[in-house]
């Protein structure tokens, strides 16, 4: 375990001179609000997920090194307090590998048990497995440390491979029964999303101990009548491509996702138990070569998307604006991080449909979106020198 970073024995002036100036952003326009963008911290290596553990402190993951760091609302950023063992990182250019440490979420009873959950790509004999860690956060004398680290879920051996792409890795908790949802991408093998014996290309649902949820649905398999198969017990939905934006609606308790399309075709889906969302048979996008894919956006037995974006957003990170934030006029709206859009995609839902949509341009690839305890919007930028940004209404 890497020790928590402690204060160095240097004068305040020396420290101030050693720190680089934070990047500055001008006010950002949007419907109803002009947003002030504050750079709270920077120098993170491809940050992927963040979560607040108190009113003034958060945890943030770094994808490539597989490290976890703490930060404060005042801009203090620790060294790594923990590092993943057996991390899989596909060799080659960073842009061709999406492997590493991914999301972080709190257990609904975090205040009592201190449990956090982290998803990552685990190195295995067959290549890589998407895995989930549970650990305990301990705060003592101003320091934070991680204890009782254990893998509670590892993608089954038959489904592991050495691809460096499409891990999914986004998580969300259902507080009504402490069920944990995990997305796993189809690993750039499109047929896997329609194989109900395969955990790839799906959303999984498990208990907070990592066991299959007892109410998970059964899916039809491709086995013949003489050799009937059974669907994987973790599956909640199938036909998903590479979901990196997943969140529970704070009022309805519905699970919503924004899924990456191929070339175009990014989509929003309401994720319901037992549904098949069609990939690769149905899509609003095309192959990267420009060639058509599938049969269009609808097919019998498959659920069409709630919404297809006209332009590529490359969604990552999803939060709903709850009651009581600094953005009262956006209450109930969905905020999606846009890697390709280099900003936030704001979506208003009415009766299960999208009634309003806008792209709020920041000028940086946005990996995660969170609503902080202060009611502001907090963002992670997905770069080698990744930042923590805070958005508030001007004035």
230 forms bridges with which residues in the sheet? Answer: none
Residue ranges of the chain whose pLDDT lies below 50 = 1-19, 224
Helix/strand/coil for 204: strand
- 266-316, pLDDT tens digit by residue? 999 999 999 999 999 999 999 999 999 999 999 999 999 999 999 999 999
Per-residue confidence (pLDDT) for residue 221, from 0 to 100: 85
Instruction: Classify 129 in phi/psi space as left (phi over 0), alpha (psi -120 to 50) or beta.
Output: beta
CA 120 to chain centre: 11
Per-residue confidence (pLDDT) for residue 20, from 0 to 100: 55
Per the prediction, the chain carries an average pLDDT of 92
Instruction: Classify 376 in phi/psi space as left (phi over 0), alpha (psi -120 to 50) or beta.
Output: beta
State whether the Cα torsion 58-323-327-395 is positive or negative: negative
- 86-100, pLDDT tens digit by residue? 999 877 665 679 999
Q: What is the Cα–Cα distance from 125 to 332, expressed in whole angstroms?
A: 45
Per-residue confidence (pLDDT) for residue 96, from 0 to 100: 74
Q: What DSSP string describes 290-355? A: S-B-TT-S--TTSPPPSEE-SS---EEEEEE--TTSS-GGGTT-EEEEETTTTEEEEEEEETTEEE
| Integer Rg of the chain from CA | 21
Helix (H) or strand (E) holding 22: none
Per-residue confidence (pLDDT) for residue 92, from 0 to 100: 61
pTM comes to 0.93
Nearest partner of 244 among 100, 111, 142, judged by Cα: 100
């Amino acid at each position: 375990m890497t020790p928590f970073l402690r204060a160095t024995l240097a004068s305040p002036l020396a420290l101030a001179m050693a720190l680089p100036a934070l990047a500055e952003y001008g006010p950002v326009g949007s419907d109803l609000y002009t947003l002030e963008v504050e750079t709270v911290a920077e120098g993170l290596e491809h940050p992927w997920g963040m979560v607040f553990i108190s009113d003034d402190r958060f945890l943030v993951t770094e994808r490539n090194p597989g490290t976890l760091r703490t930060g404060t609302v005042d801009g203090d950023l620790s060294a790594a307090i923990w590092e993943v063992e057996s991390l899989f990182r596909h060799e080659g250019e960073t842009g061709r590998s999406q492997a590493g440490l991914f999301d972080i979420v709190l257990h609904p009873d975090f205040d009592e048990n201190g449990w956090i959950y982290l998803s990552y790509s685990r190195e295995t004999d067959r290549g890589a497995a998407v895995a989930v860690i549970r650990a305990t956060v301990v705060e003592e004398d101003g320091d934070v440390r991680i204890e009782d680290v254990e893998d509670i879920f590892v993608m089954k051996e038959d489904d592991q491979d050495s691809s460096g792409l499409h891990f999914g890795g986004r998580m969300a908790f259902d507080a009504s029964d402490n069920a944990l949802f995990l997305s796993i991408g189809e690993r750039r093998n499109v047929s896997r999303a329609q194989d109900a014996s395969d955990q790839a290309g799906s959303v999984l649902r498990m208990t907070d101990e990592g066991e299959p949820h007892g109410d998970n649905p059964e899916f039809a398999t491709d086995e013949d009548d003489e050799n009937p198969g059974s669907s994987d017990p973790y599956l909640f939905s199938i036909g998903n491509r590479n979901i990196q934006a997943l969140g529970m609606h704070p009022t309805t308790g519905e699970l919503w996702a924004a899924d990456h399309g191929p070339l175009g075709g990014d989509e929003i889906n309401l994720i319901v138990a037992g549904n098949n969302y069609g990939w690769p048979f149905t899509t609003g996008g095309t192959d990267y070569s420009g060639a058509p894919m599938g049969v269009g956006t609808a097919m019998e037995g498959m659920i069409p998307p709630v919404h297809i974006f006209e332009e590529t957003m490359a969604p990552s990170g999803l939060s709903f604006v709850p009651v009581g934030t600094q953005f009262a006029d956006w209450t109930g709206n969905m905020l999606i991080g846009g890697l390709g859009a280099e900003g936030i995609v704001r979506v208003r839902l009415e009766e299960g449909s999208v009634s309003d949509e806008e792209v709020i341009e920041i000028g940086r690839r946005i990996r995660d979106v969170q609503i902080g305890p202060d009611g502001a919007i907090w963002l992670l930028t997905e770069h080698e020198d990744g930042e923590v940004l805070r958005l508030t209404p001007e004035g």
